[in-house]
Amino acid sequence: MALTLLSANNASTVLSAGISASATTLTVNTGTGGLFPSPVSGTSFFKLTLIDAATGTLTEIVHVTARTGDTMTIVRAQEGTVSRLWSANDIAANMMTAGTLDLLSQKSQSLQIANNLSDLASPQTALTNLGLTGIGIGLSTQPTIANFDFQTFAFTSGANYAVSSSTWLNVPVEVVYPTGIIISITVISVPGSNVILKLVPHVSSAGKYNTYYVRMSGAAGSRTIYVTQDWNSTNPIPITGGGTGAIDAAGGRTNLGLGTAAQRAVGTASANIPDIAIADARYKPIDYTPVLSRVWVSNEYQPVTGTPTIVSHGLTGIDVLHCKADVLLKCIAADLTGYSPGDFAAGWGIHYTNAPLSPIPALSTSTITISAGNAGTGILVSGKGGGPSYAIDTTKWRFIFRIFY
């Protein structure tokens, strides 16, 4: 009688002591013998491969016919290997060998066609035995399920069902098909109490070819159902769904109420749409004055009595006649009565040769200029709450220029 081949997953250890080339027993490290099968002499065995730890190139395959704890009875030099002297700590492992594969291929120890694979001779019988035909797999023609109920039907992942739109029940209101057609329902997945379906109609008319994805959650009989339609070229996404409701650009423009201007590019040619964001005289009336929508603000500059403050603004292409400019006087250290750092002068003027001047800067296409008055009274600032004007300490104040263009 042929011995039964035993095996164990990942059983590997090392020799606890060396053995000679003629030894018929070996001992592995204490407590590791339990990793291996327990063969019965004359009935079963397992294969053990010995590998030298030093180089990993020397091997011997032995048959273990009995094991008591960590001690094994062995038959040496199997499968064409040579009996060798082995040292302590050399590797001993239950590994796959060519002899193992040969045993598996023998009729007496392999799968028997008569007992295990008889269905291969009849695929239809195999499909039925595996329960696949019941979920619509492997059928040459598929029966139609009558009275299919979205709420109570027991779905199986991967199944395909053919149902009639004439008799199905609890159909989601979003699912719209003509009466009397067959609907193919594919179960995409059944995660937990959720069900994901795809519905495809058996119709030849493109206008009726609507496909839907249906998601159901909750217990059978009280499922909550969500539907998404799979839009296509013959059934385009409507405007209410975020589309144009058309199958081409022309239809989309019509549905969206767009005129011929929607087909023209922005540019300066006669057929172009003008870019109203640019100040181009070609697109504006001859008397058009642009709105002062932009502002340039300078850094802060200390007034110097008797010396004008001149700042380059760096603006290009501005029309000085259509710009507005001013100067703010900012306090950076307490001065006069009530002014603190960060305050701006409530009212101020420039005293020059005993004559007051308004604080209006001179603006050119490249610079902006303001005088700080002459030596003497210089710049005068009225009290924060009103009242008379007093000469400031110019080290405690700063000019800030602004150009509106």
Residue 195: which of 242, 155, 235, 252 has the closest Cα?
155
Residues constituting the chain: 405
The residue assigned the tokens 């009280």 is 222
The residue assigned the tokens 């008797």 is 306
> Which tens digits make up the pLDDT trace of 107-155?
554 455 455 555 555 666 665 665 665 666 656 678 888 899 999 999 8
Q: How many CB atoms lie within 10 A of CB 245?
A: 15
> Can you tell me the distance from the alpha carbon of 367 to that of 315, in angstroms, rounded to the nearest whole number?
9
pLDDT at site 136: 63
List alpha helices for 289-373, DSSP H: none
Q: Which residues of the chain have pLDDT under 50?
A: 109-110, 113
- Identify the H or E element spanning 249: helix 249-255
Provide the mean pLDDT of the chain: 85
Q: Which amino acid is present at 179?
A: T
pLDDT at site 138: 59
pLDDT at site 143: 86
Residue 297 CB-density burial (10 A; 0-12 exposed, 13-18 middle, 19+ buried): exposed
CA of 203: how far to CAs of 208, 209, 278, in Å? 7, 6, 56
> Can you tell me the distance from the alpha carbon of 211 to that of 199, in angstroms, rounded to the nearest whole number?
5
pLDDT at site 194: 92
The strand pair at 160-164 and 144-145 is best described as parallel
pLDDT at site 384: 82
